[in-house]
Amino acid sequence: MEKRLQKVLIDYGADESKISKDADYYLDLNLDILDLMDLAPKINNEFMIVIKNDEIMKMERISDTIHFLTKKSMFLFSQS
């Protein structure tokens, strides 16, 4: 999951050398809230889930996104 998210971020233009699980979107990757909202549909497409704007706005670190995706995947898996 982490590698797939890393690929989405790299494709978006984030500096690969600064991407880590603990990287902060704002401080380390120099993204802003508009960038995150622009990334949401790309993450949605990659992981076949939906991240709402209010959810993406709460994510500050890559680890927050990984946690969200893991939780969402487990929920979807348990519903099938």
**At 24, which CATH number?**
1.10.1200.10
The encoded tokens of residue 64 equal: 């927050």
CB 1 within 8 A of CB 66: yes
In a domain, 35, yes or no: yes
68 belongs to a structural domain: no
Q: Is 72 contained in some domain?
A: no
* Residue 47 belongs to some domain of the structure: yes
Q: What is the pLDDT of residue 73?
A: 79
Residue 72 is predicted with a pLDDT of 84
Does 78 reside within a domain? Answer: no
> Over its length of 80 residues, how does the chain's per-residue pLDDT go in tens digits?
899 999 999 999 999 999 999 999 999 999 999 999 999 999 999 999 899 989 999 999 999 999 999 988 766 555 55
SS3 at position 25: coil
Predicted local confidence at residue 78, as pLDDT: 58
Backbone angles phi, psi at 13, to 5 degrees: 115, 5
Structural domains of the chain, count: 1
Range of the domain at 18: 2-63
